[in-house]
Amino acid sequence: MRLAGPVRIVALVVTVGLTWIVVSILLGGPGTGFPRIQQLFTSPGSSVTVEPRARKYKCGLPQPCPEEHLAFRMVSGAANVIGPKICLEDKMLMSSVKDNVGRGLNIALVNDVNDLLKFIRPLHEGTLVFVASYDDPATKMNEETRKLFGELGSKNAKELAFRDSWVFVGAKGVQNKSPFEQHVKNSKHTNKYEGWPEALEMEGCIPRRSSAS
């Protein structure tokens, strides 16, 4: 019975000593922080590496455009909820944030903006025309409008129908059809949204018009 007190003291000292050893192992020793604790939660052979962010160029393009080319990116409206976007040379020309888009045809020129036929007819030679649909691009288009878009290089303007999705880049005085055009028909069998097809996204590099041409 007389040994109970000393035994308790020895047991306490041993417990404290073991606790100190365990804590020292976990903490990795003085001045080393908490590497051992981190090792307990890290699988062997694994290391945390930070992947470098992919560089974005003008208008968010994955690659830079060649010299004497204009970078562009455009997105048609999604149904009648999300408005279209038109970006040229890293400048947002039209978007819902800028509050300068509306339902129908959203048209951006490198020079002026005005009423549809009024500013398409007198365009200067070489003027670039960016078009992104929103909700319905076709209801108010007549034969003259479709013909004028055809002269700007569109091959789909003559086929546009109610609530189709359409994005197009053309130019006054082009000799061939534009390579920058996408068109999706409104069809209840393939529509992404109820009553509307998917939004279209198009990006690329447009060669600058030579001043000598």
Domain boundaries defined on the chain: 58-207
Per-residue pLDDT tens digits for 118-136: 767 778 888 899 999 988 8
Please give the structure tokens belonging to residue 37. 């604790």
Per-residue pLDDT tens digits for 138-187: 887 889 999 999 999 999 999 999 999 999 999 988 889 999 999 999 99
Residues 83/95, Cβ–Cβ less than 8 Å: yes
- In angstroms, rounded to a whole number, what is the distance separating the alpha carbons of residues 184 and 182? 7
Nearest to 202, CA basis, from 176, 174, 183, 175: 183
pTM confidence score: 0.66
Nearest to 174, CA basis, from 197, 150, 157, 158: 150
Task: Match 């490198």 to its residue by tokens.
Answer: 110
